[in-house]
Every structure is written in C-alpha cells, then in structure tokens.
Structure 1
Amino acid sequence: MKKLFVLLLIIVFLTQINIFAISQHTDYLNESKKDEVVNYVKNQIIDLYSEYYSIPKIDVEIEYVDASNNELIVHTFVNFTKILKIKSAEDLPFVKGMILELENIEDNYEKMIKSSYINSVIRDLQNNYIGIE
C-alpha cells in the first residue's frame, strides 16, 4: 500500500510540473545518465506494480532537470500500461476480505445489502479492469 501511495504522489507531482518543462533544459545529463534515470524510473514502476499487474509498456521522458543547491532534480513524464494479472475479481485481497467479512454479519437484511454491493464491485472489476489495459 505504501508503494502505491508513493507512486500516486509521484504521478500527481509529475502531472503538475509539465508547465515548467518548456523553460528548462536537460543539458546537465549526458546520454548515459539519462539512460540511468529512465531505467531507474522504469524499475520503480515495475517494483510498485508487478505483484498484481503485468506491465507491457513503460514510456519515460525526461522533461527537464532542475539544478540548484548542488542537486540535480530530474523531472520526468511517465506513461505506462498495466493489466491485472488475476483472472477473477474474487482473487483480489480486498474482495476476499469483503467476502470473509460478509460471513460475520448476522442481520439478514444487512447481509443482503452488503452482498449486493460486493457483487456489484465484482461485476465492475470483471467488466472494466480484469484483463483490460
């Protein structure tokens, strides 16, 4: 979960910095260093997502480099495709947890409502996420 949170923060940050990309340059990095940065970012994406997703495509572009305070901060634009590895929504940990918790509910009406919700989540996952890029 922590990895996902960090990645989401990176993605949010990266989408906010595109405005500045036009006025900056990447002359601070030679080609070999640019390749290192690109490979590092790709490996981070793979590390964060590979448990539950296959990642057929990752594109990383260096937008600009910020050189200040004896630091180089490399701003990148990342675009990647991910596909859930699982074949059934019931195999996802959070769905398994909901199904297990359903067994603890004693009130039949509440159980029916929550069961209906779980079924709608499963249908949504199956129709919109499982096997979909």
Structure 2
Amino acid sequence: MHRMAATLDDLLKVMTAMRGEMTAMRGEMTAMRGEMATRGEIGKFRAEMQGQIAKVREEVDARFDALEEKGELIRGILERTRRDVMGGLRDDVDAIHKGLMKTKPHEVPKDLPSQVRAKGDRPSKPAKKRKRQ
C-alpha cells in the first residue's frame, strides 16, 4: 500500500509539473497572439501552436512511458490521466483559436478568456467538488 501511495505521489508531482508547463505555454500563446495583427498570421499561429503541442505531447508520452516501465502504476489510471492532459491542452488551443477568429485584425484582445466569454459563449461548467474521505 505504501508503495502505491509513493507512486501516486510521483504521478502527482509529474502532473503538477506538466500543469505548470501548460500554463507557461498558454502564456506564450497569449503573448504570441498579442503580437499578431492580421488573420493571415492567425493560421500560422495555429500551426506553430500545433507544433508546440506535438512536442509537449511527445514529452508527456515519454514521461508516462517511463512511469509505465517502472511497473508501478495501473495502466487504466495512466491512460485516463494521459487523455485528460491531452484533452486539456487541445481545449486550451481551441479556445484561443476561437477567440482569435472572432477578432478583427485591428482589435487584438488583451486577455482572451474574458473576450471569448464576452462574445456570447457560455462559461464552462464548474468542476465537480470531490468528497473528502
């Protein structure tokens, strides 16, 4: 049991690190978007982002494979977590792209999330609260 707890702790550390990397990527995306003025550059931006995501995806896969090789984690937990990480990344880029496509070339928004909401999207569902045991 202690071994499983240690493994889950390792996974949590890896996940926290990846979450930090994603936040950093999101910041980079926002900065890049701010530098662009025309829709022609938005397509290029999307391609660059997909390239960055591909790199991160490879790194995430490598990290999960390393954890799997240790034989310490149940494959189901690993796959679910991997899907969650990838889905989160994809959602971030899609939200940013959606906001970009709604922007006119001369008005690049300062902060995307409120801009996207202001355009009529409903806010995302709040996360379910987990019961403590």
* TM-score normalised by structure 2 residue count: 0.31
Q: Which has the higher contact order (CA 8 A, sep 6+)?
A: 2
More helix by share: 2
Name the larger-Rg structure. 1
Compare the two structures and name the one with the higher strand fraction.
Answer: 1
TM-score by length of 1: 0.31
